[in-house]
Amino acid sequence: MKNITVLLAGLFLYSHTLFSQANTNLTGMVTNDQEELLIGASVFWKDTKQGATTDTTGHFSLPARNVASTLVVHYIGYTPAEIQVLPGENNIWVEVSGISQLQQVTVNGASFDTHVSTLETRNVEHISSKELRKAPCCNLSESFETNGAVDVNYANALTGVKEIQMLGLRGVYSQFMVENRPTMGGIATPFAFEYIPGTWLDGIQLAKGASSVKNGYAGITGQINADLVKPHLDKPLFINAFTSTEGRGELNVHLNKKGKGRISNGLLMHGSFVENRWDMNDDNFYDSPSRQQLNGLYRVFYESPGMCAQFNVQALTDHRQGGQISPIAGKTGLFSIDQNNDRVEVWGKIGYEGIGGKPYNQIGNMISASWHRSDALYGPNKYAATQKSFYWQSLYQTIIGTTDHTIVIAPSLQYDDIQETVNEGDLSRKETVPGAMVEYTYSRPNLDMEMPDLVLVIGARADWNSRFERLLFTPRMSAKYNFSQKSIARISVGRGFRSPNLMAENISLLAGNRALDFASDLGLEEAWNYGLNFTQSFKAARRDATFSLDVYRTDFVQQILADVDRSPTQVSFYNAKGKSFSNSILASVLYNILPGFDVKLSYKWNDVRATFADGVLRTIPLVAKHRGLVTLDYTTPNKLWAFHTRVQVMGPQRLPDNSQIPHEYTHDFPTTSPTFGIWNAQVTRRIGKKLEVYIGGENLTGFQQHNAIIAANEPDSPFFNGSQVWAPMMRQVAYLGVRFAPGGLQL
Amino acid sequence: MKSIFLISIISLFNLCSSGNTTQAQAGLSADGTTMTTKFKVFGNCGMCKKRIEKAAKIDGVTAADWDVDSKILTIIFDETKVKPSQVHRAVAAVGHDTEKVKADDAVYANLHECCQYERAN
């Protein structure tokens, strides 16, 4: 292992001595009395200011003393521990006790199912699996519906593809990862979130703004990381069945076997269909396509002291059919939609800890390979694409001197081979991106606060992009400062790039007759993101509350605009002609108003504008400037009943300029959408320890966009277009589901 | 709030399983995986010292030293083979309360008269 250390260190021009400075250091680790490692515990020599904080694996390192001295360990909620260390003693295991206190605090402190950590440097919102159970959450894109940070747009009227927005910008500007591994890029982009079934999710982390450079130069507005259930921690058998009046049926089965030795196996299976025969707005087009998806993931985990590894295979097939219901008198044939996706992905990870005899030295390797095929017919348009991708990353983490200073270095390689054709046009391309990153973290322990009060992360990466033949330098930094344990300010600044996949990302435009016009000078997109966050926890009438304020600005250096205003029969893609930015402010309050009763209010303000070809700085269409979300959650004290309800309010959205379209095609299409609210509710009833039944309704007030397709009565017309959707097309939808685990649901 | 820290920070550096790695990673350490820990064991005399140290040297513990005055037991152990809690239990099994595990009353009653240390309650 030592050889690898030296090799890697040499590779990155860090002299090996950097890693061996710790000779005169005392190392050790901190656990609670359940022998679980504690992260962020303060460790210091008694009556001195000399100390360190335990790292992400619970280990610490600080300068050793040459006389017998007392080491003090503080961790919030635990009785401080003191241990006498004699000269020459090393690798100290310190245990802090006070579990009864911990349990008490868990009940109080963790009552919010979505939270912003008070310890993390970056502004990361954690959505727990408990939060995900408050809505049917059949897949990842739907799981954001209870969340104020990510907005889910209404599905395209013809293709049913839903898009998300983060910080006011399209989802493609954020980076999608599964367990910290970038995935489902390229041609898979429009469907990515629908390929992670909701029950597979163990939690989601939303990192807003400039985040870590570990995972590449992408992620201008942030990172969305989905954590999946692990075979050694998930229930041995779990079954979820779901049905809705939309004609949707879904079955999820998890099988997990914790091996006798160190090996665990898991099989996650998903099957779903939507047999949609609805045309609730009477436009002779199905409101959303019928769908069939089969999806499976097999996982093998191996864990032993100092080493852990995993291997995964995911395979899926997805078919959708929709479009026109019956031919128009005098015409033959239908404008029908047929989309097929097939995907196989294989990935593995292997990690070592304690390299070179130092517990804080860690190496992590990940490798993945995927194959994705996407074939589609949108009326007369034919799309066919195949993508082969490969990704490799090797992370090395160590400390400089003490665990207050940690450093991560990682080389990586991304390779994509995309064969893509639209009708007769060939858009095939290859992209190879070798790169390397380095990230330094400083934490200043604060003994009074029993946590680091200042954390600073500075990182940078350099990548070569073969498709655009550019060397990309991506610097990013973030800092956190605790005024007190309950009051935190965060700041982040960083640059990001994006390699566009214009056809795949705008696939829904093919379901229309607009001509697509691409400028010849389209290259990488580039932007800087600046963010501020302030989080304050407090008591109101002796109950817990949290207030959080986010202020973000994304400033594009280069942005590709899809201009849908210039001509109603054409979509032009070109580089913004001047200023192009997004300002986004999110304020939210969470309040545990009564035991078991949480209220969340959030308000978001988005100002997203760009300079179009005519030189005018204009608001991007279909982005609401004001959005509000109110959620109420109540769980009875015996935990047998849970009630969840939420109301989302959407402010006016500018619609593309339809003034040149003959009125017979647009009907009553407005220029600005009205303000409206959508109300959803769900009741969950637990029956025994093994079974849970949930019933709910979406869009209870039945608000609906009546005309979503322009020229719906004439699909041959050059104006035919289903992309101007600003509200649901479906009225009330009711659903019913069960969750069953013979070994207990562990709510 | 504490539990939140436990959960949220783990994902910073994901070697393998992201999230929930606390338990899985507990007890990982260096080359030797040799660690030192200390905890209080109640006892009185030299006879107690012998009994405690002998009991503590279960498989995986390479050295055990109990100090009569401070009542502190120091053990050096291979953490891939043994966890401190097992040593607590082993010591309690021969009649000596530790700061974490209380010995069975019957076993305590059988201790030699001079070893009948004063129990906490």
What secondary structure does DSSP assign to A404-418, as a single string? Answer: EEEEEEEEEEEEEEE
Contact predicate A665/A711, CB 8 Å: yes
Question: Which SS3 state, helix, strand or coil, does residue B17 take?
Answer: coil
Taking CB atoms and an 8 Å limit, are B15 and A362 in contact across chains? Answer: yes
Half-sphere exposure of A163 (CA within 13 A, CB side): 25
Cα–Cα dist A58/A39, whole Å? 5
Mutate to test the interface with A, among B9, B28, B86 (most CBs of A within 10 A): B28
- The pLDDT, as a whole number, for residue A550 is 93
Give the number of other CB atoms < 10 A from CB of residue B113.
6
Q: Are A500 and A144 in contact (CB under 8 A)?
A: no
Q: Are A91 and B17 within 8 A, CB to CB?
A: no
Query: What residue has token string 């053990």?
Result: B75
Nearest CA to A392 among A371, A363, A369?
A369
Domains, chain B: 1-28 (no CATH), 31-115 (3.30.70.100)
Same domain, A296 and A327: yes
Q: Which of B2, B81, B21 is nearest to A308 (CA)?
A: B21
- Do B24 and A308 count as a contact with CB atoms less than 8 A apart? yes
Number of other CB atoms surrounding residue A393 within 10 Å: 23
Which among A38, A91, A263 is the top mutation candidate for probing chain B, defined by the most B β-carbons within 10 Å of its own β-carbon? A91
pLDDT value for A104: 30
Interface membership of B120 toward A (CB under 8 Å):
no
In a domain, A27, yes or no: yes
Residues A435, A473: Cα–Cα separation, whole Å: 10
Q: What is the pLDDT of residue A115?
A: 59
What whole-number distance in Å separates Cα of residue A68 and Cα of residue A77? 28
Give the DSSP per-residue string, A49-105.
S-EEE--TTSEEEEE--SS-EEEEEE-TTSB-EEEEE-TT--SEEEEEB-HHHHHHH
A668 pLDDT above the threshold of 80: no
Strand A222-228 vs strand A174-178: parallel, antiparallel, or unpaired? Answer: parallel
Q: Residue A251 domain-assigned?
A: yes
pLDDT top residue among A298 and A233 = A298
Q: Note whether A58 contacts B8, CB cutoff 8 Å.
A: no
Candidate ranges A64-68, A71-75, A192-196, A493-497; pick with highest mean pLDDT? A493-497
Same structural domain, A208 and A242: no
Looking at the structure of chain A, the number of domains it has is 3
Q: Phi/psi at A244 (nearest 5 deg)?
A: -140, 165
Place of tokens 């507990």: B26
Identify whether residues A323 and A196 lie together within a single domain: no
Contact in structure between A587 and A551 (CB atoms under 8 Å): no
Given a contact cutoff of 8 angstroms between Cβ atoms, the answer to whether A200 and A297 are in contact is: yes
> Testing the interface with A: which of B6, B62, B83, B100 to mutate, by most A Cβ within 10 A?
B6
Is residue B44 pLDDT above 60, yes or no?
yes
Same domain, A85 and A116: no
Can you tell me which residue has the tokens 């606390």? Answer: B22
Q: A169 lies in a domain?
A: yes
- How far apart CA A93 and CA A71 sit, in angstroms, is 11
Instruction: Write the DSSP string, A611-633.
Output: E-TTS-EEEPTT-BSEEEEEEEE
Q: Are residues A707 and A583 in the same domain?
A: yes
Q: Do B36 and A180 touch (CB under 8 A)?
A: no
Residues in chain A: 747
From the list B20, B28, B83, the residue facing A353 with the nearest CB is B28
**Cβ contacts of A691 within 8 Å, gap of 6 or more:** A738, A739, A740, A745
Q: How confident is the model at residue A112 (pLDDT cuts 50, 70, 90)?
A: low
Residues with Cβ within 8 Å of A662's Cβ and at least 6 positions away in sequence, in order, are: A719
d(CA A362, CA A161): 41
Question: What per-residue confidence (pLDDT) applies to A316?
Answer: 97
Helix (H) or strand (E) holding B46: helix B46-56
Q: Are residues A698 and A726 in the same domain?
A: yes
| Structural domain ending residue among the three candidates A99, A116, A147 | A99
A153: which DSSP letter? Answer: P
pLDDT computed for residue A147 by the predictor: 74
User: Which pLDDT tens digit goes with each residue over A352-394?
Assistant: 877 776 767 888 899 999 999 999 998 888 999 999 999 999 9
Instruction: Output the average pLDDT for chain A.
Output: 86
Give the one of A76, A89, A233 whose C-beta lies nearest to B36's C-beta: A89
Q: Three-class SS of residue B38?
A: strand
Beta-bridge partners for A25: A63
Backbone φ and ψ for A617, nearest 5 degrees, come out as: -85, 110
Partner A contacted by B116 (CB < 8 A): no
Q: What is the dihedral of CA A18, A396, A220, A651, to 10 degrees?
A: -110
- DSSP classification of residue A665: H
Does the distance separating the beta carbons of B1 and A353 come in below 8 Å?
no
Say whether both A200 and A284 belong to one domain: no
CB A560 within 8 A of CB A577: no
Contacting residues of B for A227, CB less than 8 Å apart: 11, 18-19
Q: Taking a C-beta distance cutoff of 8 angstroms, is the pair A523, A731 a contact? A: no
Nearest by CB to residue B30, choosing from A91, A120, A364, is A91
pTM over 0.80: no
Cross-chain residue pair B13–A362, CB shorter than 8 Å: yes
Q: Scan for tokens 């303060």, then name that residue.
A: A42
CA separation for the pair A641, A597 (Å, rounded): 12
What does each C-alpha distance from A154 to A160, A162, B21 come to in angstroms? 8, 6, 37
The C-alpha of A438 sits at a distance from chain B's nearest C-alpha, in angstroms, of: 13
Q: Do A38 and B6 touch (CB under 8 A)?
A: yes
Nearest one of A329, A347, A419, A352 to A383, comparing CA atoms: A419
In a shared domain, residues A187 and A267: no
Does an H or E element contain A456, and which?
strand A451-465
Alpha helices for A473-583 (secondary structure H):
502-505
| Partner-chain contact A77 B2, CB within 8 Å | yes
- Give A472's contacts (C-beta < 8 A, 6+ positions apart): A217, A435, A462, A463, A464, A465, A497, A524
Q: Tell me the nearest-neighbour CA distance from B113 into chain A, angstroms.
A: 31
Domain span at residue A87? Answer: 2-99
Query: Nearest 5°: phi and psi at B20?
Result: 45, 25
CATH number for A191: 2.170.130.10
Question: A102 and B3: CB-CB below 8 Å?
Answer: yes
As a whole number of angstroms, the distance between CA A357 and CA A397 comes to 14
List B62's β-bridge partners, or say none. Answer: none
What type of residue is A614?
Answer: D
Close Cβ partners of A377 (under 8 Å, ≥ 6 residues apart): A336, A337, A338, A339, A383
Whether residue B20 contacts residue A233, with contact meaning beta carbons closer than 8 Å, is answered with yes
* H or E, element range at B75: strand B72-78
CB contact under 8 A, A359 and B38: no
Residues 45-84 of B with CB under 8 A from A: 70, 72, 79-80, 83-84
Last residue of a domain, one of A72, A99, A126: A99
The nearest CA of chain B is from the CA of A562 a distance in Å of 36
Residue at A363 is within a domain: yes
Facing residue for A120 by CB, picked from B9, B26, B85: B9
Predicted local distance difference test score (pLDDT) of residue A148: 73
- Check CB contact under 8 Å for B26 and A31: yes
**Looking at beta carbons, which residues of chain A come within 8 Å of B100?**
33, 97
Q: Are A12 and A461 in contact (CB under 8 A)?
A: no
Mark yes or no for CB contact A95/B13 under 8 Å: no
pLDDT tier at A494, thresholds 50, 70, 90: very high
Residue A659, burial from CB neighbour count under 10 angstroms (0-12, 13-18, 19+): exposed
pLDDT band at B22 (very low <50, low <70, confident <90, very high): very low
Euclidean distance between CA atoms A167 and A50, whole angstroms: 41
Q: Which two tokens stand for residue B112?
A: 């030699």
User: Is the CB of A179 less than 8 angstroms away from the CB of B85?
Assistant: no
Say whether A118 and B27 touch across the interface (CB within 8 A). no
Residues A192 and A94 reside in one and the same domain: no
Size of interface A-B (CB pairs under 8 A): 185
How many CA atoms are closer than 13 Å to the CA of B93, on its beta-carbon side? 12
Are residues A86 and A115 both part of a single domain? no
Strand partners, A454: A444, A481
Residue A747 inside a domain? The answer is no
What ipTM goes with this model? 0.73
Q: What is the pLDDT of residue A16?
A: 33
The two three-digit tokens of residue A49, written as one number? 């200011």
As given in the structure block, the two tokens for residue A717 are: 């017309």
- Of the candidates A37, A78, A202, the beta carbon closest to that of B25 is on A37
How far is Cα A442 from Cα A598, in angstroms, rounded to an integer?
36
Q: Which of B23, B38, B99 lies nearest to residue A36, judging by beta carbons?
A: B23
- pLDDT > 90: percent of chain A: 49
Output A333 or A211, whichever has higher pLDDT. A211
Task: Retrieve residue A401's tokens.
Answer: 């001197």
Quick one: how many helices (H) and strands (E) in chain A?
A: 6, 43
Q: Please list, residue by residue across A62-91, b when 16 or more beta carbons sit within 10 angstroms of its beta carbon and e when fewer do.
A: bebbeeebebbbbbbbbeebebebeeebbb
Instruction: Look at chain B and count its residues.
Output: 121
Contacts of A321 (CB under 8 A, 6+ apart): A289, A290, A336, A337, A338, A339
* B36 has a chain A CB within 8 A of its CB: yes
Query: What pLDDT digit, counting tens, does each position of A144-166 carry?
Result: 877 777 888 777 777 777 788 99
Cβ pair B12:A36 closer than 8 A: no
Other C-beta atoms lying within 10 Å of the C-beta of residue B99: 17
Which residues of chain B have a CB within 8 Å of the CB of A2? none
Q: Which of A668-682, A705-719, B41-55 has the lowest mean pLDDT?
A: A705-719
Query: Do the Cβ atoms of B17 and A33 come within 8 Å?
Result: no
CB contact under 8 A, A180 and B11: yes
Contact B20, A126 (CB under 8 A): no
Same domain, A63 and A140: no
All residues at 6 or more sequence positions from A214 whose CB lies less than 8 Å from its CB, including other chains: A180, A393, A395, A408, A410, A437, A439, A459
Q: Which residue has the higher pLDDT, A140 or A546?
A: A546
pLDDT of the residue at A108: 29
* Contact list, A537 vs chain B (CB under 8 Å): 1
Residue scoring higher pLDDT (A158 or B97) = B97
Which residue among A199, A226, A253 closes a domain? A226
Put simply, whether B35 touches A (Cβ < 8 Å) is yes
What's the CA gap between A334 and A468, in Å, rounded?
41
Closest residue in chain B to residue A92, using alpha carbons only: B36
Residue A745 within any structural domain of the chain: no
Residues A186 and A325 in one domain: no
CB contact under 8 A, A120 and B6: no
Q: Considering only alpha carbons, which residue of chain B is nearest residue A101?
A: B2
Question: What is the rounded CA–CA span in Å between residue A368 and residue A183?
Answer: 9
pLDDT at A22: 37
For residue A746, being part of any structural domain is answered with no
pLDDT for A536-561, tens place per residue? Answer: 989 888 888 999 999 999 999 999 99
Query: Residue A666: which of A716, A728, A713, A620 has the closest Cα?
Result: A713
